[in-house]
Structure 1
Amino acid sequence: MDREVLMLHLRQAFGGTPAERRTVARAAGDLVDAGKLEDDLDVELTADVVLEQLSDAPEGTPAERWNWWMGALEASHGGYRQFRVTAWAEEE
């Protein structure tokens, strides 16, 4: 997973702050490192897959959309709560 590419895609598609996009990209990287999505759904997590999944969310910022997706995965497979985004530091 190229986090820089993901952050660019997130900015173009959903806006949000740089810190928020960086935090979502970090969570996505953690999900890749854990191998959970690949184990559960046999899907390689790429920036394009993240963008596609977040596009299904009703609306919101990158973090809100990410958390919506993680909530759906938690409900269907369990074990995704740890990948939710709860806070990010804003740049000054």
Structure 2
Amino acid sequence: MRILHASVDRTELERDLRDAFDADPDIVTVVARQARDLSESDQFVTDFGAELTVEDVIDNLADAPEDYQLAERWNWWLGALDLSHGGYARFSVRQDIDKTS
């Protein structure tokens, strides 16, 4: 089980996201960064009693509607977490912001 701490190789997480969802590399980078921010916040471990893992991310994003792209899948999962536990909206991906900013 690979835990998403700062010591996790970001390249590995990005590769797993790309492989699982065939996503745009820029979006993969953003989602991976948000996943690590979520992990480092300890909110997930506080709410669920376990560290967030790469497998958790991939499995939960796979549950999203089939026609959703990676960022939509991420936001869909975070929306569910926010609804059930609160405080997860801050980790969502905003697609209306320029990727270079």
TM-score > 0.5 by shorter chain: yes
Q: Structure 2: which 5+ runs fail to align?
A: none
Higher helix share: 1
Q: CA RMSD in A?
A: 1.4
Alignment of 1:77 onto 2:85: yes
Unaligned runs of 5+ in 1: none
Give, in whole Å, the separation in 2 of the partners of 1:32 and 1:73.
14
Per-residue CA distance 1:27-48 (angstroms, 9 max, x = gap): 0010011000110011211111
1:28 aligns with 2:35: yes
Tell me which of 45, 49, 55 is aligned to 2:52: 45
Q: Which runs of 4+ in 1 moved over 2 A?
A: none
Taking only the aligned residue pairs, the percentage that are identical comes to 44
C-alpha separation in 2, matches of 1:64 and 1:33 = 22
**Other-structure match for 1:61:** 69
Higher RCO (C-alpha 8 Å, min separation 6): 1
Report the TM-score when normalising by structure 2: 0.82
Per-residue CA deviation, residues 8-63 of structure 1 (Å, 9 max, x unaligned), is: 11111111111100000000010011000110011211111100111111122211
TM-score, normalised to structure 1, is: 0.90
